[in-house]
Structure 1
Amino acid sequence: MTSIEYIKEWLNANPFSWNVIRFIAILIVILLAIQLIRRYLKKRISNTAIRYKSQKGIEILGYVLLIFLAITYFSGSIKDFTIIIGLFTAGLAFTLQELILSIAGSIYIFLVKVYKPGDRIEINGIKGDVIDVDSIYTTMMEIGQWVESDNYSGRIVKLSNAFVFKGPIYNYSQDFPFIWDQFNLPIRYGSDMELAKTIVLKIASETLSEYTKASKSQWEAVVNKYYIEDAEVGPTLAIRLTDNWVEFNLRYIVDYKKRRLTRHLLHDNIRKAFETTNGKVVLASTTIELIKIPEQKVQSEEAKKTQ
């Protein structure tokens, strides 16, 4: 008996195995077709957002097609198909629970719109911009860590989609793409405080006018959508007295991606304005007041010998 005849005899005796082999071949063809279509779209579509959504749509459509083919392909050749599928599903749920939870997380992300590519989020202690969401992982460009402020660290992080069910998700850009920021200014005692307040609020209003105007309508939409109290989106100033200086606390709203640049502009403009007051407003620094210097007696060796 030749090898070909032996294979034919084996396939006739094991029809289910032959069906599995044919299904694997179909599976490979479909997966290759998905990859070819994705590459074609990547070359033909120049717009980044449209290209990404098209590729993602083809990927999801391919997975749905594979599931449909698997059910229809085997249901006609296996007796008690529902029992077998039930046992198979139970085994998968036990052994691949993390993977299944990740796939469920991806469906939840897309349906509920927890976040999308382009959003800045913080999840599981990792903060960054979402650059891709697939059926298992969320890919982020990390910000922070050893880099000060909200700047990219250069690391790309892949995070399981299962984490959407395991903890809070902080979204910097959904519904309201602005955040509140603040910093403190130490003003020396004896400075013209009214002049200092006028300068700080004027510079803040001029520098932040674009953000204040753009955020008002969006904040109104947030208030109407959620059970939340209205808030002041314009810059505000609070004063606190300390042992060494009068502390000005400036609070303001800013685009979530321009926090560092805006703080730099505010600091620089306020410094320049204070320098033009001819000493009426002076920034303070830490001071130490000596109440009493203890007396010390120093005696030379010759004096000791004469005693």
Structure 2
Amino acid sequence: MKSIEAIKQWMLDHPTSTALIKYLIWVIFIIGIIQFLRRLLRKNLPDSTTRYKSQKGIEVLGYFLILLLSISYFTGNIKDVALAIGLLTAGITITLQELILSIAGSVYIFFVKVYQPGDRIEINGIKGDVIDIDSIYTTMMEIGEWVSSDNYSGRIVKLSNAFVFKGPVYNYSKDFPFIWDEFDLPIRYGSDVALAKDIIIRIASEQLSKYVDDSISKWKTVVDKYYIEDAQVQPTLALKMTDNWIQFNLRYIVDYKKRRYTKHVLNELIRKEIENTDGKVQLASTTVEIIRVPKLNIDKSDKTMPNVE
């Protein structure tokens, strides 16, 4: 009993310390509840999307409660919210502006749906697949760098959510999960151009028919939603005359995650078909054409230097 009375007397003698201890206990309690609810949702919700959004919602709610608790502690009255927000903002904006911007970015990402887990994006010069979004950072599985094409590099990148306000965000999968890709085929002069065009368009149409069919409905949604004209989603072929060959440029639509593999398949099938034309169509390579061979007049009396005409 004496120890309890001593604690009560100490609390009466030190009201500021007592209030601070109570504040910290409440903060720890709220954080503990948040973690408990997150684990509970993770175990009991089977759908990954619902589970992820529910956990993030609990996290945001917890931060909001801590904010209200902080306002109540510093002002002594929860009704003075407007005054407290003004005082707190004036005091911490300069020192915590990056943190504040990151939290604001997370709210912006969540409500505007700039991107979500599973999307492939490029932001601040970094390209990758989004694997997590929390209140401060976006976590990405990096693509590219020293690895060619659209392969994972193996690095996990944490990027501040504040970057959504500092530059463009390229989303490869939002609204329209397809991209246009192209490659060039050098066809030798003297080849059957009509046959070459038929081979390339036929193979591209056969291999890309599923992407074309799926993209038509998706593109219609984009046209209805945004101020944009209709686009050609069928494979197209353009020819260009160069000094060494006829350049065939094939442009087509493809799933944004299968760009590299699709290009490999198209190149392999087109090459085999061209080889089966028995020389009617030939792939070209850089060549050097000698216009004239110079004549050499050798003066037998002068053994130092031949004369070249």
Partner of 1:22: 22
> In 2, distance between residues paired with 1:56 and 1:171?
22
SS of 2:31's equivalent in the other structure is helix
> In 2, distance between residues paired with 1:258 and 1:37?
38
> Structure 1: which amino acid aligns with 2:24?
I
> Structure 2: which amino acid aligns with 1:195?
L
> In 2, distance between residues paired with 1:252 and 1:150?
17
Structure 1 stretch displaced more, 214-223 or 47-56: 47-56
Partner of 1:179: 179
Deviations 1:188-244 (A, max 9, x none): 001000000000000000000000000001101111111111110010000000000
TM-score by length of 2: 0.89
SS of 1:238's equivalent in the other structure is strand
Partner of 2:125: 125
> Structure 2: which amino acid aligns with 1:168?
P
SS of 1:197's equivalent in the other structure is helix
Q: 1:79 to 1:7 in 2, by over 3 A?
A: farther
Deviations 1:20-77 (A, max 9, x none): 2101111112112222322333334443323322222221222122223333455446
Deviations 1:77-134 (A, max 9, x none): 6997765553332111010000000001111111111111111100000000111111
Partner of 2:97: 97
> Structure 2: which amino acid aligns with 1:125?
G
Structure 2, unmatched stretches of 5+, are 305-309
Deviations 1:236-272 (A, max 9, x none): 0000000000000000000001101110110011011
Partner of 2:52: 52
Partner of 2:188: 188
Q: 1:205 to 1:78 in 2, by over 3 A?
A: closer
> In 2, distance between residues paired with 1:79 and 1:18?
22
Q: 1:296 to 1:164 in 2, by over 3 A?
A: farther
Partner of 1:156: 156
How many residues are treated as equivalent by the alignment?
303
> In 1, distance between residues paired with 2:172 and 2:276?
37
SS of 1:27's equivalent in the other structure is helix
TM-score by length of 1: 0.90
SS of 1:288's equivalent in the other structure is coil
SS of 1:289's equivalent in the other structure is coil
SS of 2:94's equivalent in the other structure is helix
1:41-80 aligned within 5 A: 41-72=41-72, 75-76=75-76
Partner of 2:277: 277
Q: 1:29 to 1:279 in 2, by over 3 A?
A: same
> Structure 1: which amino acid aligns with 2:134?
D
Q: 1:296 to 1:77 in 2, by over 3 A?
A: same
1:223-234 aligned within 5 A: 223-234=223-234
Partner of 1:254: 254
Partner of 2:200: 200
CA apart distance, 1:140: 0.5
Establish whether residue 31 from structure 1 lines up as the match of residue 46 from structure 2. no
Partner of 2:307: none
> In 2, distance between residues paired with 1:43 and 1:132?
18
* Contact preservation (8 Å) 2:131, 2:140: yes
Q: What RMSD in Å do the two structures reach over aligned CA positions?
A: 2.7
Q: 1:61 to 1:78 in 2, by over 3 A?
A: closer
Q: 1:299 to 1:202 in 2, by over 3 A?
A: same
Q: 1:80 to 1:149 in 2, by over 3 A?
A: closer
Structure 1 stretch displaced more, 37-46 or 209-218: 37-46
Partner of 1:222: 222
Matched-pair identity in %: 65
> Structure 1: which amino acid aligns with 2:264?
H
Partner of 1:139: 139
